């Protein structure tokens, strides 16, 4: 289940590294809940519709648009109820409209998903964190591994045809630096191609691709 939210215009410039503010806002809306200690079966996009303010951040004179998706609908219902009573976000943004999106119907054929936020891939190797990008051959295996693990946690049947890979034909792919709570993370801004059953594609559309979807990475459109 996915909702799209539209906001009022901001009253102060939104900083480049606003993602931690997004995380804090969503956690506020969800409230004290066991979901914070689980692997994220949800995803959310970055803010869209803004203008770059050179060397300062972003401005959203017409308001911002973003989405939040949850595999377990009960959490999204909690979120909606809370937003209706506490619509405030940050930098003057307030939710003014909530739309429940109709779930797409997918086919068996491989499908390209555009990104609403970059894909983050990280593994701990010999005690050190290693980031993987669209340039790394291992990335497809790791993204597939992560999505399959989330499907297992959700109780979904195994999909032997499942495969997630970057669309390397995308002409403006890039690696982005994202700082959250002072920690610098590198992620890939490059669409992904997902092979698998329609149910697997719908699950990926909901929970995102790669790691840390609960921190605003890997949102799929």
pLDDT at res. 17:
93
pLDDT at res. 83:
97
Quickly tell me which residue has 């005690």 as its tokens. Answer: 127
How far, in Å, CA of 41 to CA of 25, rounded?
Answer: 18
Phi-psi region of 181 (alpha: psi -120 to 50; beta: other; left: phi over 0): left
pLDDT at res. 60:
98
Angle made by CA atoms 206, 44, 173, in degrees to the nearest 5: 90
R_g of the chain, CA atoms, integer Å: 17
Nearest to 89 by CA among 4, 20, 17: 20
Alpha-carbon distances, residue 190 vs 8, 12, 134, 215, 220 (angstroms): 29, 30, 7, 18, 11
Angle made by CA atoms 23, 139, 131, in degrees to the nearest 5: 55
CA 2 to chain centre: 12
Alpha helices in the chain (DSSP H): 19-30, 73-85, 139-154, 198-207
pLDDT at res. 38:
72
Domains in the chain and their CATH numbers? Answer: 2-101 (3.30.70.1890), 111-215 (3.30.70.1900)
How far, in Å, CA of 43 to CA of 61, rounded?
Answer: 25
pTM summary value: 0.95
Mean pLDDT per block of 10 residues along the chain (221 residues) reads 98 96 94 73 97 96 97 93 97 98 96 98 92 97 98 96 98 95 93 98 98 95 96
pLDDT at res. 36:
57
């Amino acid at each position: 289940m996915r909702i799209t939210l539209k906001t009022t215009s901001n009253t102060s410039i939104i900083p480049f590294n606003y993602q931690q503010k997004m995380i804090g806002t969503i956690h506020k809306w969800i409230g004290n809940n066991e979901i914070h200690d689980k692997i994220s079966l949800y995803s959310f996009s970055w803010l869209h519709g803004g203008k770059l303010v050179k060397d300062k951040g972003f401005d959203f004179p017409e308001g911002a648009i973003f989405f939040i998706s949850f595999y377990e609908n009960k959490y999204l219902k909690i979120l909606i109820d809370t937003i209706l009573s506490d619509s405030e976000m940050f930098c003057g943004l307030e939710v003014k409209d909530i739309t429940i999106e109709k779930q797409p119907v997918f086919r068996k054929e491989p499908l390209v998903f555009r990104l609403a936020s970059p894909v983050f891939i990280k593994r701990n190797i010999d005690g050190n964190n290693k980031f993987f990008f669209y340039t790394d051959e291992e990335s497809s295996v790791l993204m597939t591994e992560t999505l399959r693990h989330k499907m297992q946690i959700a109780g979904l049947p195994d999909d032997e045809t499942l495969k997630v890979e970057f669309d390397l034909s995308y002409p403006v792919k890039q690696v982005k630096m994202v700082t959250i709570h002072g920690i610098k993370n590198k992620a890939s801004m490059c669409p992904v191609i997902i092979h698998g059953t329609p149910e697997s594609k719908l699950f990926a559309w909901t929970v995102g691709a790669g790691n840390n979807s609960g921190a605003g990475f890997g949102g799929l459109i």
